[in-house]
Structure 1
Amino acid sequence: MSNIPNIRFKGFTDAWEQRKLGDMVSFSKGSGYSKGDLKENGTPIILYGRLYTKYETVISEVDTFADEKKGSVFSKGGEVIVPASGETAEDISIASVVEKSGILLGGDLNIITPPDEMDSAFLAISISNGKPHNDMAKMAQGKSVVHLHNSDLEKIDLPYPNYDEQRRISGFFFDLDNLITLHQRKCEQMKTLKKYMLQKMFPKNGQSVPEIRFDGFTDAWEQRKLGELSFSFEYGLNAAAKEYDGENKYIRITDIDDESHEFKQDDLTSPDTDLSVVDNYKLSEGDILFARTGASVGKSYIYKASDGLVYYAGFLIRARIKEENNPEFVYQNTLTNNYEKFIKVTSMRSGQPGVNAQEYSQFEIMIPSKAEQDKIAYCFRNLDNLITLHQGECEKLKKLKKYMLQNMFPKKG
């Protein structure tokens, strides 16, 4: 049977072939090891759970170890492994290539050894996506634990091109995965740096100066309450949300990302009210929002003009910072351990946790001169921009990968 994908590399025009996996490869099983066998050092080992927690097409480095047992199965390099059991059919309908030889392969692994004319990485990508993946998921059997056997894998229909095209496809996705990993790693490095700087660039309890300062600043910081730094605390708009009208955005607690504290704009809404009479609920540059109730109490967000025309909802409190203070500096204080402790203590209620405007106004902040605030604010905003940049690039690459997986393999079997 022949079929052709939507997107191909130049120079490849032959139709793909399709055969049963069992007619092309050989199958075997790993040997019985479990998490209880893992040790700090020993022989490298791969257990089935790794495949659906790390999602690697090619396993290059192994950081789990065990003592060798009699009858153990070792990789020779280039095998494709598929979990034999897991919690869901989707979990186990995936595959990875074991790049190196001498790796112990655990018992709940189906092992596929492809022939010389089939690229291992291409086979793993094919199994983990598209029709072969869907067919595998249908075959997985079980209730609390689902199982997939080599006898099931034998029946999978696998479309494939010639070896050169296989290598071009697997190489493309290998490079794409490396780019995604690079941006993820950079993002984590920036997050780690920011966490460190938040601990070092604000004074610890009982101290009047931070451990790290910019050159030229030596004066002691002064303690102020958030209410002293703000000229207003106001509750948000009491209106339901409706479908986004293309201009007027509505921010609710759930629209603030739990980790980045950015305004999530992938599912926008507009306030369902007469907007001609609610100008006071429009956000302005530097406005800081606080979640006042529920599991997300204490979550904060600072408005930026790039977020567009935004109205804020009723379960949020807006603080407007006085001109003699830097709003970004104040906002970054809401990401510190000191703020987290304040919220934990202040939000305790007999029912649902909450912090009202009066209570928020009592949060104590150590304040340096405006010039030093500006320097610190600029530093952290740059870090946040770098984090957002790498996250954005990572998401773009993931979308590209998803699109290419859908279009570089035949859709019909």
Structure 2
Amino acid sequence: ANAWEQRKFDEVFDCTIPSNTLSRAELNYESGSVRNIHYGDILIKYGSVVDVKNDEIPFATGKSSEDFKSALLQDGDIIIADTAEDETTGKACEIGNSQGLDVVSGLHTMVCRPRNKMALGYLGYYLNSDAYHHQLLPLMQGIKVLSLSRTNVQKTMVCYPQSKAEQQLIADCFRNLDHLITLHQRKLDMLKKLKSACLSEMFI
């Protein structure tokens, strides 16, 4: 078996890429040139990896890439939602398949760029695992809303296989599981619709 590394968060990630403070009201789904990842969507809508080309990501209204010079994201970047009403605080997503599209990270998020490229998906899945997330629980601050400071997140430890091929196998395994879950969810939804249609027909 190949060796695994365990390193401090700030040795693995550069956390100096800025996020913006655009609120939901400053975003739209119709048109724009820069997509903006909102922390609420990280918490509820997106999986461990965001497919920029195909997932629904709102646009920053009236903004162009010029407005976000040093803040444009690239594949492999991690975005952490640093605020939530519960312990989902710290949920992460990894940017993938951006294909030259401009993406930035919004309000209540922390951008973390791996200092060394890893297999796409590995960090997205790892940072959402209990093994990693448990490190964040004692660091969350607040009563009604829980938040994480950059300083605290940087104290956590990150584990990864040295071999990129092994990182890829792990990421692929979880990606396939996600795919299966989605397929079954669709089947389940169809069965529920079928059942309710039968019920309404049956007892007229």
Matches within 5 A, 1:78-93: 78-88=76-86, 90-93=87-90
Distance 2:119 2:107 in 1: 24
Count of residue correspondences: 190
Paired with 1:77 and 1:102, the residues of 2 have a C-alpha distance of 11
Larger Rg: 1
Query: Would you say 1:16 and 2:4 are equivalent positions?
Result: yes
Pairwise CA distance, 1:130: 3.2
CA contact (8 A) 1:79 1:120 kept: no
Partner of 2:184: 183
Secondary structure of the structure 2 residue equivalent to 1:138: helix
1:98 aligns with 2:95: yes
Q: Is the 1:94–1:124 contact (alpha carbons within 8 Å) kept by the matching residues of 2?
A: no
Partner of 1:142: 142
Contact 1:81/1:95, CA 8 A, preserved across alignment: yes
With over 3 angstroms needed to count, the CA separation of the structure-2 counterparts of 1:156 and 1:56, relative to structure 1, is same
Mapped to 2, the partners of 1:75 and 1:68 lie a distance apart of 19
CA contact (8 A) 1:81 1:111 kept: yes
Q: Which amino acid aligns with 1:57?
A: S
Closer/same/farther in 2, CA of residues 167 and 79 from structure 1, 3 Å limit: same
| Identical positions, percent | 27
How far apart are 1:141 and its partner, in Å?
1.3
Distance 1:138 1:119, change over 3 A: farther
Please list the CA deviations of residues 287-333 of structure 1 after superposition, one character each: whole Å capped at 9, or x if unmatched.
xxxxxxxxxxxxxxxxxxxxxxxxxxxxxxxxxxxxxxxxxxxxxx3
Q: Is the 8 A contact 1:26 1:112 kept in 2?
A: yes
Q: 1:42 is matched by which residue type in structure 2?
A: S
Alpha carbons of 1:37 and 1:131: their partners in 2 closer, same or farther (altered >3 Å)?
A: same
Aligned residue for 1:76, secondary structure, equals coil
TM-score by length of 2: 0.82
Aligned-partner residue type, residue 17 of structure 1: E
1-structure distance, mates of 2:102, 2:2: 37
How much does 1:180 deviate?
Answer: 0.5
Separation of aligned partners in 1, 2:199 and 2:27: 37
In the TM superposition, 1:296-315 aligns within 5 A as none
Counterpart of 1:35 in structure 2 is: 24
Amino acid at match of 1:96: C
Whether the 8 Å contact between 1:86 and 1:146 is mirrored in structure 2 is yes
1:209-251 deviations in whole A, cap 9, x for unaligned? xxxxxxxxxxxxxxxxxxxxxxxxxxxxxxxxxxxxxxxxxxx
In the TM superposition, residue 106 of structure 1 has moved relative to its aligned partner by 0.9
Q: How far apart are 1:103 and its partner, in Å?
A: 2.2
Superposed displacement of residue 152, structure 1? 2.0
TM-score (norm 1): 0.43
Shift of 1:170: 0.7
Structure 1 residue 80: deviation in Å? 0.9
Structure 1 residues without counterparts, runs of 5 or longer: 1-12, 203-332, 334-365, 367-413
Alignment check: 8 A CA contact 1:29 1:109 kept: no
CA distance in 1, matches of 2:57, 2:112: 22
1:166-205 maps to which residues of 2 (within 5 A)?
Answer: 166-199=167-200, 201-202=201-202
Q: 2:74 aligns with which of 65, 76, 83?
A: 76
Structure 2's unaligned 5+ residue stretches are none
Question: 1:152 & 1:121 partners in 2: Cα distance?
Answer: 24
CA contact (8 A) 2:76 2:117 kept: no
For 2:180 and 2:129, locate their aligned partners in 1 and report how far apart those are by CA, in whole Å: 20
SS in 1 for 2:121: helix
Q: Distance in 1 between matches of 2:42 and 2:154?
A: 20
Aligned Cα RMSD in Å? 2.2
Give the letter for the 1:53 counterpart.
I
Highest RCO, 1 vs 2 (Cα 8 Å, sep ≥ 6): 2
- 1:25 maps onto 2:13 in alignment: yes
